[in-house]
Amino acid sequence: MCLIIHGKVHGVFFRASTKETANQLGLKGFVRNRLDGAVEIIAEGYENDLIKLINWCQTGPDMAKVDSVEQYWQPYVSEFKDFTIN
């Protein structure tokens, strides 16, 4: 699954909080800042856990202001060993 989060998501610990949340959910993949000001998440795991991540991304950490979350579901390919910040 790929998520693109728009809003005030840089400089508010969004990536670190995403990593913590993904680890709690047992997800694998990565999170990174994009040059356009958005945050991109690639995550793999059980569908119900991915949905929990999507729901969390709707608000993110306390200092974030999320305007929108784009979702792109992709086939599971198990290419990640853990969840990282890129």
**Confidence (pLDDT) at 33:** 98
12 touches 18 (CB < 8 A):
no
Which band of pLDDT confidence, cut at 50, 70 and 90, is reported for residue 51?
Answer: very high
- Does the pTM exceed 0.85? yes
Mean pLDDT across the stretch 36-43? Answer: 97
Structure tokens at 35: 């040059």
CATH fold label, 2-77:
Alpha-Beta Plaits (3.30.70)
Cα angle 82, 83, 86; round to 5: 125
Looking at residues 25-50, what average pLDDT do you find? Answer: 97
pLDDT at 55: 98
The mean pLDDT of the chain is: 95
- pLDDT at 25 (0 to 100): 98
Residues marked as catalytic: 15, 33
